[in-house]
Amino acid sequence: MTNALQPSEFEVQDIMINMGPQHPATHGVFRMVLQVDGEIVKDLIPHIGYMHRGAEKLSETMDFRQGIGFMDRTEYLAQFNAELGYVMAVEKLMDIEVPERAQWIRMILCELNRLSSHFMFTGAFGTDAGVFGTSFTYAFRWREEILDLFEEITGDRLMYAYFRPGGLAWEVTDNFEARVRQVLELSKQGIKDIDGLVTNNEIFKARTQGVGVLTKEQAIDWGTTGPVLRASGVQMDIRRDEPYLFYDQVEFDIPIGQNGDVYDRWCLRMEEMRQSVRIVEQCLTKLQPGPIQPERMPRMLRTPPGEVYIRTEAPRGEFGIYMVSKGGNRPHRLKVRSSCFANLQSLRDMSIGQYVADAVLALGSMDIVLCEVDR
């Protein structure tokens, strides 16, 4: 047996696995190159940019009304939240007072949008974890009710283009309150369904607990926001810390995770959905009839020169709009501070040393929207 190959004579190589851009678990077109030793991830190189459409640059050529539609397309799961950031930036530049009713309706729609976005997360993440389509169909079935409501109000299922600088494009439907209450009841049922299907399942717990851990320090270092940051134990929610709209007039709880793993992120989002229902219920009691646009609105929106940064708490974290105006009817420069882009940076820290299947879960638990990452 002297001719047998000794371990020192051959080279042991890690395999590079190219996951994406076309891969069922990458939530769009995201590519990660995994260097694996068997099943263990040794290194992870994320590649983004496949969905870059230059939305920021394009917005510089759009006047303030046209730009709203592009914000929808930047963040296609939380469109109202994205629109809100944009119109709030314009309002702040122009110093417009928004009527109370418009603010409340905005808040209701944003929270419902958070609900629908989190439904989407539960569905997609369940599929990542391997629940064959069931969580996905559950989530879509209940999200559909919310989208139907949005369609009745705005006329479109996804690209609403409904918020306007100063208020709303048009009045909501007459049966708005009754419909919202109905949708809330259905959503509660949906939350119960998904909760029952996944949250307490031992297999799901075994798969997610202790996986993709991000410590408090790492989470802050990478600039993560939203549920990813809160799951790591940092108490930060822009709705509480820098209230916009009327978030300072409603009561809600902010869930804070203590382990920073994938399971905490899941539980946090489930809890946020319940809190969103609670917020909308409070908003409905405070909704009064009134105007939805300021009395005196210029026909052509022109801002004085200046710059402004607006941060809002979108479902995936801090959605910021930095707008520079040199006067005129369009922004000189628009920068979207994308929550997913910052969150995605922490993927490498979450995945190294874990199994390939865990890397998929870590990616899924961040609830990325590639459109928002690449813009």
Partner 1 sequence: MKGILKSMATTLSTFARKPVTREYPETHKELPERDRAFPVLLWDKEAHEPFCTGCHACERACPVECMTVLMKDNPAHKSVGGESGRRKIIDKFWIDYGRCMRCNICVEVCNFDAITMNNTWEGHEKSVYDRADLVQDLPMLLSEHRSGELKPWVNE
Partner 2 sequence: MNTLFGLPVALDALIRVLIIVSVMTVVVMGLIYVERKVLARFQQRLGPTRTGPMGLLQSVADALKLVAKEDVRPTNADPWVFELAPFLVFVPTFLGFVVVPFALAWSVRDLDLGLFYILAVSSVNIVGWVMAGWASDNRYAMLGALRAVAQSISYELPLVMAMIAVAMVADSLNISEIVRGQAMVPNIVWQPLPFLMFFICMLAEMNRPPFDIPVGESEVVGGPYVEYSGIRWSMFFLAEYASMFIMALLGAAVFLGGSAWPFGEQLGLPWQILLTVAKAGLIIFVVIWTRASFPRLRIDQLMSFSWKLLLPVSFAQIMVNGLILVYDLPYGMSHTLLAVCSAAGVLFVASAINRSVTSPRPRPLLIPRSEAAR
- Chain contacts with partner 1 (rule: CB under 8 A): 62, 65-66, 68-70, 73, 134, 138, 141, 144, 151-156, 159, 161, 169-171, 173, 193, 196-205
- 103-133 residues labelled b (16+ CB within 10 A) or e (exposed): bbbbbbbbbbbbbbbbbbbbbbbbbbbebee
Out of 45, 52, 53, 133, point to the residue binding partner 2 (CB under 8 A).
Answer: 133
User: Taking CB under 8 A as the criterion, which residues in 212-251 touch partner 2?
Assistant: 231, 235, 237, 239-241, 247, 250-251
Could you give the 3-state DSSP secondary structure of residue 200? Answer: coil
Residue 186 lies near partner 2 (rule: CB under 8 A): no
In angstroms, rounded to a whole number, what is the distance separating the alpha carbons of residues 2 and 325?
78
User: Taking CB under 8 A as the criterion, which residues in 138-157 touch partner 2?
Assistant: 138, 141
Amino acid at 305: P
Q: Which of the listed partners (partner 2, partner 1, none) does 358 bind, with a CB threshold of 5 to 8 Å by partner kind?
A: partner 2
Report the residue number, 192 or 326, with the smaller CB distance to partner 1: 192
Out of 35, 209, 218, 329, point to the residue binding partner 2 (CB under 8 A).
Answer: 209
Find out whether 336 and 38 touch, Cβ atoms under 8 Å: no
Residue 311, strand partner residues: 320
Q: Which of the listed partners (partner 2, partner 1, none) does 151 bind, with a CB threshold of 5 to 8 Å by partner kind?
A: partner 1
99 preceded by cis ω (within 30°)? no
Residue 104, strand partner residues: none
Q: Which of the listed partners (partner 1, partner 2, none) does 155 bind, with a CB threshold of 5 to 8 Å by partner kind?
A: partner 1
Region for residue 54 given its phi and psi (left: phi exceeds 0; alpha: psi -120 to 50; beta: otherwise):
left
Out of 108, 131, 219, 283, point to the residue binding partner 2 (CB under 8 A).
Answer: 131
Angle, vertex CA 71, rays to CA 89 and CA 133, nearest 5: 135
Bridge pairing between strands 317-325 and 306-314 = antiparallel
- One DSSP character per residue, 18-75 reads EE-SS-TTSSSS-EEEEEEETTEEEEEEEE--TT---HHHHHTTS-HHHHHHHHHHHS
Q: Which of the listed partners (partner 2, partner 1, none) does 253 bind, with a CB threshold of 5 to 8 Å by partner kind?
A: partner 2
Which range touches partner 2 (CB under 8 A), out of 150-158, 297-305, 314-322, 355-363? Answer: 355-363
Q: Which of the listed partners (partner 1, partner 2, none) does 257 bind, with a CB threshold of 5 to 8 Å by partner kind?
A: partner 2
Q: On the CB side of 358, how many CA atoms lie within 13 Å of its CA?
A: 26
The CB-of-296 to partner 2 minimum distance in angstroms stands at: 34
The CB-of-186 to partner 1 minimum distance in angstroms stands at: 11
Residues of this chain that interact with partner 2 (CB under 8 A) are 15, 17-18, 23-25, 39, 126-134, 137-138, 141, 197-198, 201-207, 209, 231, 235, 237, 239-241, 247, 250-259, 264, 267-268, 271, 355-358, 360, 364
